[in-house]
Amino acid sequence: MVRSAASLIRSRGVSATSLSDVLADSGAPRGSIYHHFPDGKAQLAEDAIRWTSERLLAHLRTGTPSGPSEVLGRFIDVWRRTVVASAGSAGCVVAGVAIDTGPGEKDLMEVVRATFGSWVAVLAEQLEVAGVPSRRATPIALATLAAMEGALILCRAEGNVRPLDAVAEELMRLLPLERPSRRKRPVHSS
């Protein structure tokens, strides 16, 4: 049910996802949703966020990237796969909840905030381990998350992954050069 909720929220947001839709998509018996999610849709949204976030973090923590561009590339790849698998139509569960959650729903928005924060923290940490200077790691991680969230919206409008690929190329330019090649540049060119 949580997977169904995540998938539906990703495609159409929270407001347009009803508990009945989740039941129909998951094939779970009607009573079970009230048993597992007594607090209803907000709880389902919260669990869908946690489920998504755990998968993202687990993916980021697999293997040892060889350098900053591989760290960034692996993060971007998670978003790219979502877009490709849905022909552009899937968004981010967490963004979908953020956009559809009113300022009054403080608990749910706090889950959104903490989730985004954990993604930026893990990405920044990995960038730093891979050699990005500490003061640059967090801003680059934040810009990458923002750009990916936005790219998903542009991909949804275009119906393909091209906007994300173009954005990804720009993000790579924010990284310091991995093999400093300044000495190769002619010093007396000007």
* CB-based contact 26:4 (threshold 8 Å): yes
3-state secondary structure of 46: helix
Cα(153)–Cα(147) distance, rounded to whole angstroms? 10
- Considering the rule CB under 8 A, would residue 78 count as an interface residue with a copy of itself? no
- Considering the rule CB under 8 A, would residue 99 count as an interface residue with a copy of itself? yes
Compute and round to an integer the Cα radius of gyration of the chain. 19
User: Cα dist. 16→47, 60, 77, 80, 100 in Å?
Assistant: 17, 30, 27, 24, 9
Closest CA to 158 of 83, 92, 96: 83
* Among residues 5, 60, 72, 96, the one that binds a copy of itself under rule CB under 8 A: 96
- Considering the rule CB under 8 A, would residue 142 count as an interface residue with a copy of itself? yes
- Considering the rule CB under 8 A, would residue 48 count as an interface residue with a copy of itself? no
User: Please, which residue, 54 or 158, has the CB nearer to a copy of itself?
Assistant: 158
User: Please, which residue, 33 or 167, has the CB nearer to a copy of itself?
Assistant: 167
- Considering the rule CB under 8 A, would residue 169 count as an interface residue with a copy of itself? yes
- State the number of binding residues for a copy of itself (CB under 8 A): 48
* CB-based contact 171:143 (threshold 8 Å): yes
In 146-179, which positions are buried (b, 16+ CB within 10 angstroms) versus exposed (e)? ebbbebbebbbeeeebebbeebbeebeebbeeee
- Considering the rule CB under 8 A, would residue 184 count as an interface residue with a copy of itself? no
- Considering the rule CB under 8 A, would residue 148 count as an interface residue with a copy of itself? yes
* Among residues 29, 31, 103, 186, the one that binds a copy of itself under rule CB under 8 A: 103
Can you read off the two tokens belonging to residue 36?
């597992």
- Considering the rule CB under 8 A, would residue 80 count as an interface residue with a copy of itself? no
Residues 121-140 that bind a copy of itself (CB under 8 A): 138-140
- Considering the rule CB under 8 A, would residue 163 count as an interface residue with a copy of itself? yes
- Applying CB under 8 A, the residues found at the interface with a copy of itself are 11-13, 15-16, 89, 91, 95-96, 98-100, 102-103, 109, 112-113, 116, 138-140, 142-143, 145-151, 153-154, 156-159, 163, 166-167, 169-171, 173-174, 182-183, 187, 190
